[in-house]
Amino acid sequence: DERKAAPKLEDYFIDLGLPTEQVAAAVQIGDVVTRQRELVRIGDLVNGKSLDNRMGLYVMIEAMRAIQGKGHELDLYPVATVQEEVGIRGALVATRQVEPDLGIALDVTLANDVPGVGKHDWITALGAGTAIKLMDGTGIASPKIVAHLRKVAAERNIPVQMEILPKGGTDMAGLQRGGRGAAVGCISIPTRYVHSVIESCHVTDIQASVDLLAGFIETAHTADFSLV
């Protein structure tokens, strides 16, 4: 029965391997604790901790590099947000400051393509391309942005898969609700073992995410994303 029950916060402890008085001298209440794990390459995957959402930052940075010198017709605000997991707080603050007309969230999504999971529960599969979000537990992507992302992918031969995430959410909800009401979408990087120290992403999907974001930025001025 214990194996079936979700662990409670009070069930966890951190063992520093030191006497109590040394711990008390070295550790303050409120000190930050993080997991220790190096990023490694395993086959076609990159594997490590906190790819959710370091991978989103990587895709954003590489897309900015990809469009350098090419020009675009947008006022562009790349933003690295905080506290998405505890209430999309950074995205709400940033959106209120910028008041964007449209926004693209970048996040990982589940790739449950592992033994014991039925294909209907995969959400996405590693190596099948970046994911264009249709909806998740906190928001619905603008159909016009979804259509343009699909158009860019088709024209540039970028592998994509469509994503519906039944539970959970992303900064897309903050972009949608934080300002004057923006058209929103989300590019998702398929990831296995989310919220563990061995999160895994496929290099093909990572590059496809970079290419799709760069392509969207370069061509967004050609589309109508109005909400009416």
Point out the residues that are catalytic: 84
Give me 169's structure tokens.
């959410």
d(CA 200, CA 132): 19
Q: How far is CA 66 from CA 59, 106, 209, 211, 218, in A?
A: 10, 16, 12, 8, 10
d(CA 111, CA 190): 5
Q: Which H or E run includes 93?
A: helix 89-98
Torsion from C-alpha of 74, 213, 166, 5, nearest 10 degrees: -120
